[in-house]
């Protein structure tokens, strides 16, 4: 492991990457520091805005909506096509900014940008497929159909761990659906946000779309709250903790706005006696330790059959001991830093609680590189064997802790999978088709994502992404998630020259 990059190295590469995307870091500098989790040093600074800026952005976006909603959807797709091309061109630059701001290893940071490119391609195709249904009318000479119309301004609140991809899922779909977007990015990742938005602005200019279609407002909780409460925001799409969602959901509902919530996960894998343990080990390690345990989809629990739990734990522990932990910018690193000290503290507290609840830490949990970078929080991903699903196991700790629980019957394993407040992702490792089908059935996993022989994370954009219970119920990205971004009108057209009433009602004057 070579030395961690210096503060100068990191700010220079951030400055250069941002400039190539069209953002001059001097021009956006202000009194809010941007810190890199890679070495805990200051990367740059930005100016924060406030609630009044949100109102202004929503008003301008609302004006852009007046024009954009009548542009034919396939033409709107042309804007998203150009945006996707620019993302492809600047994949490495945006990847660098994501790495420096949130600590993702290069491969995962670029993978995040690839998700952005993928959703643009999906949205371009979708722009010709915003289908409604035609329905048989019970009345002669009548036609019944539904039409999907643009909804209005979409507000996006995104989290640090996917600082740009989640915005792009919302934005690419919103734009082809005819909606402008006002974005409050994570406070921890403003540079990636500004760079992504600059590329979209360039695409907007080049394709002649309304300039105010895309707005970014940097700031803290007051900015988020202003977006939540703004009557001009038709759909508020928010990603973050369950605590955040509990505050946001009712406030948006209060004003009869729509919300789309992507909140916490507590994702498990069931490992049955017939599982291929080699493949299982690889799948679990990526899902549990990858991204330093900071994905909503991170695997936090393994529910393993008593016949395989010891061998699986040994294999996992051996793999964990080999994990290269260090600077995410260095080739070969698989585990980068936690995003800040609070995550490290939450991890230590959770490990302590697990011990008190009968857990045994099998491997990991120690801090690394503290001497080289006292303000950066590198940590060994941990595996903890638990006697059962205790309180701490039922909570989401946003750090790399994998709890291992034993089971005897598949019914018991499925019950454990479901017996947590969250319902995002889940998987089963098995070679037995009946077990796999049982897990996917109506009385199987209760999560929005249920996988077979792959881990819980790393979903493709083609499917709808989201989950049940305290995960918030929202679905974004692929499949028919676009419907949340449009309003449906049901149309009845009478070409009969008569006026028959439905339900056989007679009303003749």
Residues that bind ligand UN1 (CB under 6 A): 115, 161-162, 166, 239, 295-297, 457-459
Cβ-based nearer residue to ligand UN1, 308 or 447: 447
Determine contact, residues 156/168, Cβ cutoff 8 Å: no
Give the other-Cβ count within 10 Å of 351's Cβ: 20
Round to whole Å and give the CA distance between 448 and 138.
37
Cβ-based nearer residue to ligand UN1, 261 or 459: 459
What is the nearest approach in angstroms of ligand UN1 to the Cβ of residue 387?
Answer: 29
Cβ-based nearer residue to ligand UN1, 167 or 378: 167
| Residues ≥6 apart with Cβ < 8 Å to 341 | 375, 377
What is the nearest approach in angstroms of ligand UN1 to the Cβ of residue 375?
Answer: 25
Taking alpha carbons only, the member of 407, 406, 363, 408 closest to residue 384 is: 363
* DSSP-assigned letters across all residues of 373-439: -TTSBEE--EEEE-SS--GGGGS--SSSEEEEEEESSHHHHHHHHH-SSEESEEEEE-S-HHHHHHH
Instruction: Look at the block and give the residue holding tokens 């499917």.
Output: 463
Taking alpha carbons only, the member of 67, 56, 28 closest to residue 44 is: 28
Cβ-based nearer residue to ligand UN1, 140 or 421: 421
Cβ-based nearer residue to ligand UN1, 162 or 344: 162
Round to whole Å and give the CA distance between 43 and 440.
46
What is the nearest approach in angstroms of ligand UN1 to the Cβ of residue 23?
Answer: 24
Determine contact, residues 470/263, Cβ cutoff 8 Å: yes
* Pair of tokens at residue 370: 């503290």
Cβ-based nearer residue to ligand UN1, 311 or 460: 460
In the chain, how long is the greatest CA-to-CA distance? 90
Element (H or E) spanning 81, and its range? helix 73-89
* Pair of tokens at residue 448: 């929005």
What is the nearest approach in angstroms of ligand UN1 to the Cβ of residue 268?
Answer: 15
* Pair of tokens at residue 123: 């949205």
Round to whole Å and give the CA distance between 390 and 376.
31
Catalytic annotation, pick one of 101, 262, 396, 476: 262
What is the nearest approach in angstroms of ligand UN1 to the Cβ of residue 291?
Answer: 8
What is the nearest approach in angstroms of ligand UN1 to the Cβ of residue 191?
Answer: 19
| Residues ≥6 apart with Cβ < 8 Å to 457 | 267, 286, 287, 290, 291, 295, 297, 298, 299, 425
Cβ-based nearer residue to ligand UN1, 263 or 392: 263
What is the nearest approach in angstroms of ligand UN1 to the Cβ of residue 306?
Answer: 30
Cβ-based nearer residue to ligand UN1, 37 or 178: 37
Residue 89 annotated in active site: no
Determine contact, residues 396/242, Cβ cutoff 8 Å: yes
Phi, psi of 43 (to 5 degrees): -100, -40
Handedness of CA 190, 192, 197, 202 (dihedral sign): positive
Round to whole Å and give the CA distance between 261 and 159.
12
| Residues ≥6 apart with Cβ < 8 Å to 181 | 61, 153, 154, 155, 156, 167, 170, 171, 174, 175, 213, 214, 215
* Pair of tokens at residue 215: 């707005």
CA torsion 432-435-441-444 (nearest 10°) is -150
What is the nearest approach in angstroms of ligand UN1 to the Cβ of residue 117?
Answer: 13
Round to whole Å and give the CA distance between 485 and 481.
8
- Reduced 3-state DSSP string for 33-86: EEECCCCCCEEEEECCCCHHHHHHHHHHHHHHHHHHCCCCHHHHHHHHHHHHHH
What is the nearest approach in angstroms of ligand UN1 to the Cβ of residue 90?
Answer: 20
Cβ-based nearer residue to ligand UN1, 230 or 294: 294
Cβ-based nearer residue to ligand UN1, 430 or 457: 457
Active centre residues (catalytic): 262
């Amino acid at each position: 492991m070579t030395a961690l990059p210096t503060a100068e190295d990191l700010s220079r590469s951030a400055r250069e990457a941002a400039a190539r995307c069209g953002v001059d870091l001097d021009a956006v500098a202000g009194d809010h520091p941007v810190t890199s989790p890679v070495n805990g040093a200051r990367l740059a600074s930005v100016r924060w805005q406030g609630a009044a800026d949100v109102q202004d952005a929503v008003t301008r976006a609302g004006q852009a909506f007046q024009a954009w909603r009548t542009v034919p959807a396939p033409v709107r797709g042309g804007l998203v096509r150009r945006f996707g091309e620019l993302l492809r061109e600047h994949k490495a630059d945006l990847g660098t900014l994501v790495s420096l701001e949130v600590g993702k290893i290069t491969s995962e940071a670029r993978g995040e940008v690839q998700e952005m490119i993928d959703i643009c391609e999906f949205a371009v195709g979708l722009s010709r497929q915003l289908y409604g249904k035609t329905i048989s009318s019970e009345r002669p000479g009548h036609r019944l159909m539904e039409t999907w119309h643009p909804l209005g301004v979409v507000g996006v609140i995104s989290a640090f761990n996917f600082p740009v991809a989640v915005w792009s899922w919302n934005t690419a779909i919103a734009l082809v659906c005819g909606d402008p977007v006002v974005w409050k990015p994570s406070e921890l990742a403003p540079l990636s946000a500004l760079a992504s938005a600059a590329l979209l602005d360039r695409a907007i200019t080049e394709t002649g779309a309304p300039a105010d279609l895309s707005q970014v407002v940097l700031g803290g909780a007051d900015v988020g709250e202003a977006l939540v409460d703004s009557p001009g925001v038709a759909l508020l799409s928010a990603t973050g903790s369950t605590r955040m969602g509990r505050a946001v959901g009712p406030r948006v509902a209060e004003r009869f706005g729509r919300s789309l919530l992507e909140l916490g996960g507590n994702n498990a894998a069931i490992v049955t006696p017939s599982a291929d343990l080699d493949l299982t080990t690889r799948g679990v390690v990526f899902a549990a330790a990858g991204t330093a345990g900071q994905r909503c989809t991170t695997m936090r629990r393994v529910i393993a059959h008593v016949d395989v739990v010891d061998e699986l734990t040994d294999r996992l522990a051996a793999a964990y001991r080999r994990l290269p932990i260090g600077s995410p910018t260095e080739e070969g690193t698989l585990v980068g830093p936690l995003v800040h000290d609070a995550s490290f503290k939450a991890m230590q507290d959770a490990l302590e609680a697990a011990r008190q609840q009968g857990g045994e830490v099998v491997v990991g949990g120690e801090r690394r590189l503290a001497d080289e970078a006292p303000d950066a929080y590198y940590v060994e991903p941990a595996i903890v064997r638990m006697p059962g699903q205790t309180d701490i196991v039922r909570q989401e700790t946003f750090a790399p802790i994998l709890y291992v629980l034993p089971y005897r019957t598949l019914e018991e394993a499925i019950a454990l999978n479901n017996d947590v407040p969250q319902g995002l992702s889940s998987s089963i490792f098995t070679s037995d088709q009946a077990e796999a089908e049982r897990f996917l059935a109506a009385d199987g996993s209760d999560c929005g994502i249920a996988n077979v022989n792959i881990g819980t994370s790393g979903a493709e954009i083609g499917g709808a992404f989201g989950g049940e219970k305290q995960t918030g119920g929202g679905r974004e990205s692929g499949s028919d998630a676009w419907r949340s971004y449009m309003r449906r009108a049901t149309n009845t057209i009478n070409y009969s020259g008569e006026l028959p009433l439905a339900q056989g009602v007679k009303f003749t004057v």
